[in-house]
Amino acid sequence: MSFPQRWEPRAKNADFGFLLPAFAGTGFAAVTVVKMSIPGSSGIEVVEAVLKRETPARFVFAPNYWQWFAHQQNHNTVPEEIAHCRTQLDLIKYLALDVFSRNTYCDQKRCWFGGLAKPIFDGVEVSVNEYRQGSDRVFEKTYQTKAGNLTERLRYVADGSTLVQEKFPVDDYNSQLDAFEQLVSARRWEFSADQYARQQQKVGDDGIVVAGELFSPLKLLHISLGAVDTTYLITDYPDRTRDILSIHEQAQLDLVRQMARANVPAMIAMDNLDTMFHSPSYVENYSASFYEKAGRICHEHGSTFFIHACGQQKDNLKLISSLGVDGLEGVAFPPIGDVELTEAMELSGDRFIITGGISAAEIEELTTKKQIFGYVKNLLEVMQPYKHRFMLSASCNTPINTPWETIKLFRDAWLEYK
């Protein structure tokens, strides 16, 4: 397999509609940025180096403050020091960190991921009802197919600044399978290269916007029926299920091609890959074809293909890397995950990129400067041999109750030992 020698990160764009519509982020406010003095150490340069599996001038540090920052804004608890920041990107720039992110543009009140690719429906009418219940915001979306209506309900929970799914669009697959197949058959996605370009322009030399617009056939079932009914559906209707998943795979591969042609340097399937829900046998049977084909398309166009990881990864690592996937976003080690980072690096081969290293467990347990500096120093020493395919990041997200001082201490420790 050949990999590109040159990247074009200041590229194009998109507008994703999950099962609910997503909208682009709001305005961008400029902040004062502390520039790195090491040659070749700008955010975009070090991220590009890792994407090419070249040793960067320093470790990449691309944290995820998406939910944390939104929560502070929602509850008027933004620290005075960063009161001038209007977006997560403002915050990252203020801290002089790197950007390798698929949520600098995503509207977290309406979707878990996406915002650059618009869903197009042929023969299915879609209506959205948005209303408030107390401090929460509720979204009900109805798909009107010839075989009947499918309705899902999402709630943005104000107390936790998080989106939860209260009702799956398919809650009785025995009677709704025809409608579900019609929905999947009617949907395709249209990527906006211009919107991507605008988002990348906002990031500038600080890094790369990842196109987080994709989800595998297996993830389609998880977000449409839930994990439990997914298993039942696969068992009860194996042939029908494969047909439906094949239709979704083709539509998603078309989206991959659109993004690749727009010179997007990195894209990601937002699958929450975890062996509890994505067992090796399920991955082989229902996701491997998509992963392998998406990776091949990306490499043919000089792009890279990632999967979002969440939870236990050990039993899938060799399989995932064998499919030509470029890396996993957010690998956590025990107690949240089930594999140490060094072991994950060895299991996945010598070209597999892993991001992670700071999970909710570390945020909660490490409270003093000595503890945080000691942890980061040891982690970066251990990861030195893998510097060319590792990005220090959150192993999912940054908890909403993380103290501002803790965020700064992790930044300061990285600056000390990078």
Q: Which residue carries 């010598």 as its tokens?
A: 350
Q: Yes or no: say if 23 and 199 are a contact pair by the CB < 8 Å rule.
A: no
Beta strands in 351-409 (DSSP E): 353-358, 390-394
pLDDT digits (tens, 9 = 90+) for 358-391: 999 999 999 999 999 999 999 999 999 999 999 9
118: left (phi over 0), alpha (psi -120 to 50) or beta: beta
The Cα–Cα gap between 74 and 90 comes to: 16
* Residue percentage of the chain with pLDDT more than 90: 88
Query: H or E segment at 344?
Result: helix 341-347
Give CB contacts under 8 A, 24+ apart, made by 278-281: 278/218, 278/316, 279/315, 280/315, 280/316, 280/319
Residue 188 has pLDDT above 80, yes or no: yes
Opening angle at CA 383, ends 378 and 389, nearest 5: 155
* 20-64 pLDDT per residue, tens: 333 233 333 334 445 456 778 999 999 999 999 999 999 999 999
Q: Which residues touch 6 (CB under 8 Å, ≥6 apart)?
A: 302
Residue type, 366: L
pLDDT attached to residue 37: 60
Q: Identify which has the larger pLDDT, 395 or 33.
A: 395
Residue 94 near residue 170 (C-beta atoms within 8 A):
no
- CA end-to-end span of the chain: 31
Residue from 278, 137, 120, 245 nearest 190 by CA: 120
Six token digits for residue 306:
């990632």
Task: Give Cα 358 to chain centroid, integer Å.
Answer: 16
Task: Over range 186-214, report the average pLDDT.
Answer: 98
Q: Which token pair is 125?
A: 């009418």
Integer Cα distance of 404 and 59 in angstroms: 22
What mean pLDDT do residues 66-82 have?
97
Please say if the pLDDT value at position 12 is more than 60.
no
pLDDT of residue 31: 40
Level-2 CATH architecture, domain 43-119+172-417: Alpha-Beta Barrel (3.20)
Is the pLDDT score of 107 beyond 80?
A: yes
Q: Is the dihedral of CA 121, 273, 246, 143 positive or negative?
A: negative
Estimate the share of the chain in helix, then strand, then coil, as percent rounded to the nearest 5. 40, 20, 35
pLDDT of 353 strictly over 80:
yes
Distant-in-sequence, close-in-space partners of 170: CB < 8 Å, separation ≥ 6: 150, 176, 177, 179, 180, 224, 225, 229
Give 141-171 pLDDT, tens digit per residue.
999 999 999 999 999 999 999 999 999 999 9
Looking at residues 60-80, what average pLDDT do you find?
97
**In whole angstroms, what is the distance from residue 101 CA to residue 90 CA?**
13
C-alpha to C-alpha distance for 214 and 232, rounded to whole angstroms:
24
- For residue 30, the model assigns a pLDDT of 39
Q: Please tell me the predicted confidence (pLDDT) of residue 310.
A: 86
Query: What residues does each domain of the chain span?
Result: 43-119+172-417
- pLDDT 10s digits, 284-328: 999 999 999 999 999 999 999 999 998 899 999 999 999 999 999
The CA distance from 298 to 259, in Å, is 9
How many CB atoms are closer than 10 A to CB 165?
A: 16
pLDDT at residue 185 greater than cutoff 80: yes
pLDDT of residue 36: 52
Higher pLDDT, 134 or 11: 134
pLDDT, tens digit, for every residue of 263-273?
999 999 999 99
CB-CB contact of 121 with 100 (8 Å): no
